[in-house]
Amino acid sequence: MGKLEGKVAVITGGSTGIGLATARRFVAEGAYVFITGRTRETLDQACAEIGRNVTAVQGDVANMSDLDQLYETVRAEKGVLDILFANAGAVKHVRIDAITEEHYDQIMGVNLKGVIFGVQKALPLMTRGGAIVVNASIVGIAKSIPSLGIYSASKAGARGFIRAMVPDLSARGIRINALSPGSTETPIFENQFPSHEAAEMAREAANALTPLKRIGTPDELANAAFFLASDESSYITGIDLHVDGGMGQV
């Protein structure tokens, strides 16, 4: 029997990368998953790949009515929610002189507003307790990259939000933790660079800088998301689990 048998999970940004790998893992462990993303085509591909026990809800986590639609769908189909993996994220490299209000709103909207209101709107359905995992990043607190100021601030903000939520959520039987990836081989890693050549250079640099000498795989992050979402981590709340090949530790 799987370790998430009978559980209902929402995974935002579940159509590719870490979210998709986690959706596959949760379903293999017996859960029913609702995955989200803005693009219908990749959501359909993800559902075909996951194969069973999955519903896709198209929407933007930065849009309040899309979030309402997501949780209304969960309520109508299952009536309850046990696990939220707030995973959807956006990244863009911008140096200080080029930061605009639009850039700030876009990155903060997805990575911080999307997390905060995603958690708030999930809570009424988490009537039997459960676990919330927020996908942050080692650049939130452990590493710095000069062109990722707003992205780093958004991830550090999510980390602060988690800590503040621990007492209230504990009283409701809900654990909340951050998962902080280092460089991981997903579409976001490749797409944040202007060309494939630039992405290759960044990949080689990340390989060299990481103590384990390679970047992570989506399945390695999914293992950690499963750990934090399941009773395997039943005495853990409020932590920031770095899954980064040691990059943020040295």
Ligand X SMILES: NC(=O)c1ccc[n+]([C@@H]2O[C@H](COP(=O)([O-])OP(=O)(O)OC[C@H]3O[C@@H](n4cnc5c(N)ncnc54)[C@H](OP(=O)(O)O)[C@@H]3O)[C@@H](O)[C@H]2O)c1
186: left (phi over 0), alpha (psi -120 to 50) or beta: beta
Among positions 142-181, residues that touch ligand X (CB under 6 A) are: 181
Q: Considering beta carbons, is residue 13 or 149 the nearer one to ligand X?
A: 13
Burial of 221 (0-12, 13-18, 19+ CB in 10 A): buried
Among positions 48-67, residues that touch ligand X (CB under 6 A) are: 60-62
Contact 158, 112 (CB under 8 A): yes
CB 128, min distance to ligand X, A: 26
The single residue listed with the structure tokens 């799987």 is 2
Q: Name the segment binding ligand X (CB under 6 A); options: 71-79, 87-95, 225-233, 235-243.
A: 87-95
Task: Decide: is 217 part of the binding site for ligand X (CB under 6 A).
Answer: no
Task: Decide: is 90 part of the binding site for ligand X (CB under 6 A).
Answer: yes
Q: Find the angle CA(26)-CA(31)-CA(36) to the nearest 5 degrees.
A: 70
CB 157, min distance to ligand X, A: 13
Has 151 been annotated as catalytic?
A: yes
Q: Considering beta carbons, is residue 13 or 245 the nearer one to ligand X?
A: 13
Q: Considering beta carbons, is residue 183 or 237 the nearer one to ligand X?
A: 183
DSSP readout, 21-62?
A: HHHHHHHHTT-EEEEEES-HHHHHHHHHHH-SSEEEEE--TT
Contact 178, 239 (CB under 8 A): yes
Q: Name the segment binding ligand X (CB under 6 A); options: 67-75, 86-94, 225-233, 234-242.
A: 86-94
Task: Decide: is 17 part of the binding site for ligand X (CB under 6 A).
Answer: yes
Q: Considering beta carbons, is residue 39 or 144 the nearer one to ligand X?
A: 39
Q: Considering beta carbons, is residue 1 or 48 the nearer one to ligand X?
A: 48
Of 120, 225, 226, the closest CA to residue 180 belongs to: 225
Read off the DSSP letter of residue 231: G
Q: Work out which of 31, 91, 132, 150 binds ligand X, going by CB under 6 A.
A: 91
The residue annotated as part of the active site, out of 32, 71, 104, 151, is 151
Q: Work out which of 7, 9, 10, 19 binds ligand X, going by CB under 6 A.
A: 19
Cα gap 206→86, rounded to integer Å: 25
Contact 42, 67 (CB under 8 A): no
Task: Decide: is 15 part of the binding site for ligand X (CB under 6 A).
Answer: yes
DSSP readout, 110-138?
A: IIIIHHHHHHHHHGGG-TT-EEEEEE--T
CB 167, min distance to ligand X, A: 25
Site for ligand X, rule CB under 6 A: 12-13, 15-19, 36-39, 42, 60-62, 87-91, 110, 135, 137, 181, 183-184, 186-189
User: Looking at the annotation, which residues are catalytic?
Assistant: 151
